[in-house]
Every structure is written in structure tokens, then in C-alpha cells.
Chain A
Amino acid sequence: MTENMLFALGNVLDPLKFLLMTLGVAGGIIVGALPGLTATMALALLVPFTFAMDATTSLMVLGGVYVGSMYGGCIAAILVNTPGTPSSIATTFDGYPMTKKGKAEHALVAAAFSSGVGGVFGALVLLFLSPPLAEAALKFGPPEYFWLAVFGLTIIATLSTGSVLKGLMGGALGLLLSTVGIAPIGGDMRFTFGFYQLQAGLELIVVLIGFFCIPEVINMIEKKINPQDVATYKPQKGVARSVIMDLIKKPGLLLRSSAIGTFVGIVPGAGGNIASLMAYNEAVRFSKEKEKFGTGIIDGVAASESSNNAEVGGSLVPLLTLGIPGAAPAAVMLGALMIQGMRPGPELYTTYGNVTYTFLFSFVLANIIMFVLGFFGSRYVARVINLPINILAPLVVFLTVIGSYAIRNNMLDVGIMVFFGLIGYVTKKAGFHPGPIVLGLILGPIAENGLVQSMLMGKASGSMFAVFFTRPISIVLILFCLISVAVPVISAIRARKRKEENANA
């Protein structure tokens, strides 16, 4: 093992390979920043090129693209409230308000730094803890997925600004929207209204763009533009340093978010979007200044970004150890491994040890490269918002249109995006935050599959109760759900009591 590691270290520092990987990271950042281009697409596109490369080089380039694209998603999220990838949903919550306050560079640097921390965390877990964690991931069966989704839904309380009831309505609507398309069990065509394209269901990124981006664009132009009111970015000295110093003082936040991201990544089927939302939720829960979240604070951006980059390393854990991809881009990596003649499993760490360790080391390095690029790039990228509104607003619409088309090469998706954009605008004015709706849409399939598959398991074993309520991990998750619901209620009651006491005194 040490021998392999030493060999790998030499390999990683090979100038040509290093250069190619840096290009991979840079390309990945661009892919991530443009809505409609996904890490999965970029990786698939590169696979034929890897025929011509040796195994280590090709894996290093692919790893670089994967890492870069996860970070790139935050750029559009912060600057124009459009999650470039679903993984950066939670980044919009505080990132965009920061931009509106003229702190775009702060947000971008915070994202780069926390992405780097999260990415390295995930990569180290991948390097040292893969086999035991992969075994643990297998313990996740249908009932566990169901409870995981329920636990995820408790985030609604955090996401609904103002009325929790409206949040719940939005969440239920999102869950309902997630059932459009072919039923996972039974194979019915549900709510397709005669559109054969809807057999595929609603594409998450298309709905996301609609709900998050179109309302913002309309906001930009709904009143006569007054150039004095528009947020601008002026380069200042020392922003990057002060942001990083600020984050270093919050190791708990970064480590917690990274750990959540890695954990979610390891569980196959739960991706970076869930990781970022959960980490955001926990950041709010543990914070002493809960009310500041959503108004544009660094903590929100850091939680989301560190967890979605940690998720990358996590998603490769079951892939390399068991051949089960933890997320869609990881599936393409699996394809690339196979083409190189490598099989996931223990062999990877023995027969192909040189290649595997080179890849794992390069993964740590890719995260550092990503940080450096993000760190120095932020001040240039932030200038995008200095474009006059009459150029920026149409440009963003233009990008959302081609983005929602490109994701599945489907014209109907563009119509759906615009439709949900309009709905998002109206509902936002009526006090519904898009967060819970999107959360329902993300967690719906996981909840439904888990629920129905568990019911089939219960039918076979003869006890529904045993399937749902007696499995150890399920019990832990149920406890999490209860705590998650109970704590805010208790603290609200306490707060009210204190108020009354104060009033009486």
C-alpha cells in the first residue's frame, strides 16, 4: 500500500498530467456555471478521449472535471440566483442576497474556500475509509431511504420564510410534481396530459431554473430601472483574506457540513442537492443567529458549498469499492473505469493499486487547484453583475432557455421552464418560497420508491411494522425526524413563555 502511494505521489506531480487535470478542473467550472450543462454530460463527452490516454491520466482528467463542475455551480447561483447544477440550490439562499448587497466577491471566495475544504475532506475519507463505509452504505435499504426522505422533508421548516404552513403546502405540491411521469412501481403513466415527453417526468434542473431564475429576472425589470439601485461590484482590497480568516474561525461549520456532504454522497441515490440542503439546514439549527440566514451571510454559502463538494468524494466510495455509483456523474466514471479494463472492488486497491492511488491523490490535488482557480477568479467573475440590466436580464433569460433545452434536448422542457417561472413569480409574491417546492420535487422519488418498496417487503415478510419501525438505521432516522420537528416547537413555546414572563414582570 505504501509502495503504491509513493508511486502515486510521483505520478500526480508529473507536469503533463498535472496540466491536463488543471484544464479539466477549469473546464468543469465552466460546465458547472452554465445551467443546462451538467457534470454528467461533460464526463460522458470526455470518455472517448480517454481511450487514447492511459488509465491514470484519464481518471485524473475526469476527476478534475467532476470536482470543478461541482464548484462551478455556485457561480450562477451567487450571481444570478440560478443554480448552475442542482447541487447549488442552497447556495442561492444566501449567495444571491450577498450579491444584492454588493458582496458578490465575498460570496464567491467563501464558496471557493469552503468547496476546497469540503472537497479535500471528502477525498480524504475516500482515500482512507472507503471499504468500511461502503459496507455501511449497503445497510441502506428501502425503509431507510424512506425515512431519510422524511427527515429531509423536515428541512421545510427552515426553508419556509414566514409561514410554515405555506412551506408545507409548497412541499406537498413539490412531492406531487415529482410523481409526474412513469410510476416507479406499477409502470403507470401519471399526470402526463397527453405529452409523451412527460413520461420522463419533470427534469429537476428545468424546474429549478424556472422557479429560481425567472422570478429574479422579472424582479429586475418589473419597475423602471434605476441605475443607482442596482447592485454593483467594486473590487476592494483584502476581501479574500478577510473572508477566509472569517471562515477559519468557524471550523465546526465547515467540518459538520463536509461530514454531512460525505455521508449523503456515500448513500447511493442521494446527491449533492440533498447534501447542500441538509448542511444548510444544520447550519441554521446550530447557529446562534438563525434569523440572519437568508439575508446574505457567509455561513449559508459555506455550509452549502462545503457539503456539495464533500459529496463528490463520498459518491465515489461505493463506486470504487462496490461498483455502485453514488450519483449520476459517478456512473460515468464507472463507465470510464470499465473501458480501461478495471473492475471496481478489492482488485482496485491491489492489482490496480498504482492507478487507484494516483487517482485518489489527484482528487485531493484537484480540490486544491479548484480553490486556487476560484480564489483568483472571483474578482473577475463578480464583474458579470456590473453588466447593465438591459443586457443582463435578457441574457439570463437566453441562458435559461438554451440551458433547459440542452439538458435533455427537449423543446417541451423550455415551455415547462417558462411555465414554472411564471408560477414561481406569482407564488413568491403570494409568500411561497420556492425552496420547499423544490425540496419536495427532489425527495419525492426517494420517498415514494422507499415507501412502496418497503410495503412490498412488508407484504412478503408478513409484518409492515417490522419493516418500517424496527430496523436499527431506520430507528435512528425516525429519532432524527422527531427531534427535528420537536426542537423548534419547544423553543418556540419557551420563547413565548419568556416573553409572557417578561411582560408580567
Chain B
Amino acid sequence: MKKLKYLLLASILLLAFLVAGCGSSTKDQKAEKKVEYPTKPITYVIPFDAGGQSDIEARRQQPLLEKYLGQPVTITYKPGGGGAVGWAELVKQKPDGYYMAGFNIPHIILQPLERKDAGYKTEEINPVAIFQKTIIGLAVPKNSPYNTLEDFIKAAKAKPGSITVGGSGTLTGPHLFTLLLEKQAGIKLQYIPFTGAAPATQALLGGHSQAMAGNSDDLVKYPDKIKVLGIASADRFKALPDVPTMKEQGYDIQVSVDRGVAVPPGTDPVIVKKLEEAFMKIANDENIKAQMLKDGFEPVAMNAEQSKKYIEERTKVFTELYKQVAAEKKQ
């Protein structure tokens, strides 16, 4: 008797799975023919660790995306290689609109330039929208002798290579910022890459690095511990209205880390359009915009077309800069 019950249970479970498995695959084929989209849950891949900025942003969007798209949106993580592993997987996925991934600029531009085999090419990242900017700024501890960018540059000129600037990673937004500042001000700094924004901030607060090229969300977090000398945005940053831009101070430096979402290359434009609409609605949501600003991000709303153009434009700028850096390294 007991045996029978056991057998029954097992076979029911097995059956349930086979049905569930078949169900999803048939729906899949339908979607490709008639573009009834979306008809099943969508996977939203974060190519970074859980709890990071990209994750927080996606978690913020998740409930609204589910509301606008009418399907569950599952967030999963494929971290590694500064995002490269996740993007390499993205471009190999079936372009059916059920797999999308967050992407970051300048990462998707610099990684394929720098690495022999990053696993993807910049043009394979098929953007749906860009919704957030993290602006890079230069910060020093509160007790630092430098009160303005001018002080800082003067000191760097007096003793080339003696001022340490911490930042997250090599050839990332903060590193590019430092390189541009060195070039335009004609100074030499000692950039120290850390394994993320948090350790870089920690090193600045602990006085282990003299300055930090930091993300705006970290810069707004410590008003009583750090001084922000300049910020690399076009206009003054709303969350830090008293901080002058780099441009105001005579340096044409605009560096930000831009976050967006992309689908595999070759995705049906109708599908892209649907996703784009949902993301744009969220990006223009006043409530979401206010939250982002409070967290130290700049809300933006670029649609697929604009995003594509923006990536192309940035690619040109960064490729140029990368070539110069590489040439200097060889000397």
C-alpha cells in the first residue's frame, strides 16, 4: 500500500514536469511566428554580483516591468570579468526577447578593445534603453590640504607622480577620468585600482589614498567625511549642486558610467519596441527619477535608437583615448 502511494506521487511529479517543460517550448515557437510577445517569463540578467548598483536598479524596475509587460521578470546573476562573462553569454542567446541583460558603458566598449577575447563585440550589444548615469567626480578626505581642484593640480605639478588616486578597476570610468585629467592638466598622478567602488571608498576614508575618482552615488554618501573637488558632468549635478563641474574649472572632462539594458543581436524590432516602451515608461516615472537622484544617480531616458547612437559616439572617444594610453605604455 505504502509502495503504491509512493509510486503514484513520483509519477505525478514526473508528469507535471514533462508537461511544464513541453508547455514552455511550444509557446516559444509561437512567439517567433506571430510576435505575440511576451507570453512567458523574461530573464533579466545582471552581469555583476547581487547587491551591486546594477542589481539595485534592476530590482527597482522589476515590479514595474512586470506590470507593463504582463509577465514575470526573473533577475539572475552572471557575474565575472567586470561584466564580460554576462555579455558574452548575452550575445550567444536566442534573440527571442526572453533574455535581456543590463549593460554598462564604458565597460562594453573598453573590454573588447583591451582583451584578446572578451567573448563579445561592442556592436553585438543590442541596446533597448539607457536609463541611468553614474557620474565620476574627484574627491579628497575632509582633512586634506587640497580645497579646490586648483590646489590639487598645483600639488601634483610640484611633485609629479606623488599623489595617489584610488578608483574602481583598470580601464574603467574612474581610471579614464584620471587619465583624462592627467592629460588635460599636464600632470602625473599615481592611479591605484581597487576591486570595486566600496574598497576604493574605504581606502579614501581611511587615508590610504590621497584622492579618489569615485562614482556619484558614493560621493553623495559621505558629505561630512569627504570634499568633492569637481564632477565630470555637462551641467551641475542635481544631487551635489555646490560642486563645480570639471568643465567650469577649465577641463573638458565628461565621464560617466551609463547603465542600460540590451537584448541579443538580431532580435525582432517589434520585440525591442515593446521592451523599449516598458523601460522608457519606467525611466520617465517621476517617482523612480526622484529615488535615483536621492541615491546619487542621474536619471536619463534614452530609447533604443538614441542608445545605439550614444554607444557609437562613446566608442569613438574611448577608442581614441585607449590608443593613446596603449602607445604611452609601450614607450
Q: What separation, in Å, do the CA atoms of A425 and B164 have in the docked complex?
A: 46
Residue pairs across A and B with Cβ atoms less than 8 A apart, 28 shown, are A40-B49, A44-B75, A48-B63, A137-B202, A138-B206, A139-B206, A140-B202, A141-B203, A141-B206, A185-B170, A185-B193, A187-B115, A187-B171, A196-B84, A196-B85, A196-B88, A196-B118, A199-B84, A322-B205, A328-B51, A331-B50, A332-B51, A345-B221, A456-B164, A456-B191, A457-B190, A457-B208, A460-B163
User: Of residues 144 to 201 in A, which have CB atoms within 8 Å of B's CB atoms?
Assistant: 181-187, 189, 192, 194, 196-197, 199-201
Q: How far is the CB of A490 from the nearest CB of chain B, in Å? A: 35
Number of interface residues of A (CB under 8 A): 60
Nearest B residue to A471 via CB reads: B208
Residues of chain A contacted by B161 (CB below 8 angstroms) = 459-460
Specify which chain A residues have a CB less than 8 angstroms from the CB of B169 in the assembled complex.
Answer: 187
Q: B79 near A453 (CB under 8 angstroms)? A: no
Least CB distance, A205 to chain B, in whole angstroms: 13
Secondary structure type dominating chain A contacts: helix
Please indicate the chain B residues that have their CB under 8 angstroms from the CB of A185 in the complex: 170, 193
Which residues of chain A in 367-387 are interfacial with respect to chain B, using CB atoms and an 8 Å cutoff? none
Contact flags A425-445 to B (C-beta < 8 A → 1, else 0): 000000000000000000001
Given A200-B85, A332-B51, A189-B117 contact (CB < 8 Å): yes
- Selected interface stretch from B53-61, B255-263, B308-316: B53-61
Q: Are B59 and A199 in contact (CB under 8 A)?
A: no
**CB within 8 Å of B: which A348-395 residues:** none
Which of these, B51, B78, B171, B207, contacts A408 with CB under 8 Å?
B78
List B contacts of A210 (CB < 8 A).
Answer: none
B119 near A: Cβ within 8 Å? yes
A63-104 vs B: 1/0 string, CB under 8 Å?
000000000000000000000000000000000000000000
User: Which residues, 305 to 321 on A, are CB-close (under 8 Å) to B?
Assistant: 318
A201 to B294: give the CA distance in the assembly, Å. 35
Cα separation A408 to B50 with both chains bound (whole Å)? 11
Residues of B within 8 A of A462 (CB): 162
Task: Give the Cβ gap from B270 to chain A, nearest Cβ, in Å.
Answer: 28
9 nearest A-B residue pairs (beta carbon) = A200-B80, A199-B81, A196-B119, A141-B208, A331-B51, A332-B51, A44-B50, A138-B206, A187-B170
The answer to whether B79 touches A338, judged by C-beta atoms less than 8 angstroms apart, is: no
Which B278-328 residues sit within 8 Å CB-CB of chain A? Answer: 294-295
CB of A287 closer than 8 Å to a CB of B: no
Which B residues are within 8 Å of any A CB, using their own CB?
A: 49-52, 55-56, 59-60, 62-63, 75-82, 84-85, 88, 114-119, 161-164, 169-171, 190-195, 198-199, 201-203, 205-209, 221-222, 294-295
Contact yes or no, A335 B170, CB < 8 A: no
For A339, list chain B residues within 8 Å (CB). Answer: 56, 59-60
Known contacts A44-B55, A196-B117: does B202 contact A459 (CB below 8 Å)?
Answer: no
Chain A residue, CB-CB nearest to B205 = A138
A396 near B: Cβ within 8 Å?
Answer: no
- Of B49, B63, B85, B195, the contact of A197 (CB 8 Å cutoff): B85
Q: Kindly state the separation between the CA atoms of A333 and B60 in the bound complex, as whole angstroms.
A: 15
Contacts of A457 in B (CB 8 A): 164, 190, 192, 208-209
For B78, the chain A residues whose CB sits under 8 A away are 408-410
**Are A343 and B221 within 8 A (Cβ)?**
yes
The CA-CA distance from A51 to B64 in the complex, in Å, is 12
In angstroms, Cα B44 to Cα A312, docked, is 29
- Asked whether A409 lies within 8 Å of B84 as measured between CB atoms, the reply is no
Residues of B within 8 A of A182 (CB): 81-82, 84
Interface code A222-256, partner B: CB below 8 Å = 1, 0 otherwise?
A: 00000000000000000000000000000000000
Q: How far is the CB of A281 from chain B (nearest CB, A)?
A: 25
CA distance A459 to B165 in the complex (A): 13
Asked if A328 and B115 make an inter-chain contact with CB atoms under 8 angstroms apart, the answer reads no
Hey, which chain A residues are within 8 Å of B198, CB to CB? Answer: 268, 324-325, 331
Contact of A142 with B by CB under 8 A: yes
CB distance from A427 to the nearest CB of B (A): 26
Contact B117 A328 (CB under 8 A): no
> In the complex, what residue of chain A is closest to B191 when comparing beta carbons?
A456
- Chain A residue with the shortest CB-CB distance to B43: A409
**With contact pairs A40-B50, A142-B203, A322-B205 given, residues A200 and B79 touching in the complex (Cβ less than 8 Å):** yes
Q: Which chain B residue lies CB-closest to A268?
A: B202
How far in angstroms is the closest Cβ of chain B from A66? 12
Known contacts A141-B203, A189-B117; A197/B80 CB under 8 A: yes
Determine whether the beta carbon of B205 is less than 8 Å from that of A460. Answer: no
Report the separation of the CA atoms of residues A339 and B62 in the bound assembly, to the nearest whole angstrom.
13
In the complex where A43-B51, A343-B221 touch, is A324 in contact with B201 (Cβ < 8 A)?
Answer: yes
- Taken residue by residue from 21 to 55, chain A's Cβ proximity to chain B (1 for < 8 Å, 0 otherwise) reads as 00000000000000000001101100110010000
Contact of B85 among A138, A199, A343, A345 (CB under 8 A): A199
Check B119 against A199 for contact (C-beta < 8 Å). Answer: yes
Residues of A near B191 (CB, < 8 A) are 456
Contacts of B170 in A (CB 8 A): 183-187
B80 in contact with A335 (CB, 8 Å): no
CB contacts (< 8 Å) of B294 on chain A: these are: 341
A328 and B164 form a contact (CB under 8 A): no
Smallest beta-carbon distance B121→chain A, Å: 12
Residues of A within 8 A of B79 (CB): 200, 408
A106 to chain B minimum Cβ distance, whole angstroms, is: 32
Q: A43-B50, A43-B51, A325-B51 are in contact. Are A200 and B81 (CB under 8 A)?
A: yes
A-chain residues with CB within 8 Å of residue B49 when the two chains form the complex: 40, 328, 331
Q: Is B115 touching A199 in the complex (CB atoms < 8 A)?
A: yes
A269 within 8 A of B: yes
A449 within 8 A of B: yes
A344 contacts across to B, CB distance below 8 A: 221
Q: Are A184 and B55 in contact (CB under 8 A)?
A: no
A449–B195 touching, CB < 8 Å: yes
Q: How far is the CA of A268 from the CA of B200 in the complex (A)?
A: 11
Q: Which of A41, A324, A456, A461 contacts B50 (CB 8 A)?
A: A41
Residue of A nearest to B78 (CB): A409
Check B202–A187 contact: CB distance below 8 A. no
Whether the Cβ atoms of B80 and A408 lie closer than 8 Å is yes
Contact (Cβ within 8 A) A461 B162 = yes
Is A131's CB within 8 Å of the partner chain B? no
Kindly state whether residue A415 has any CB partner on chain B within 8 Å. Answer: no
Check A328–B85 contact: CB distance below 8 A. Answer: no
Within 8 Å CB of A324, what residues of B? 198, 201-202, 205
The residue in chain A whose Cβ has the minimal distance to the Cβ of B210 is: A460
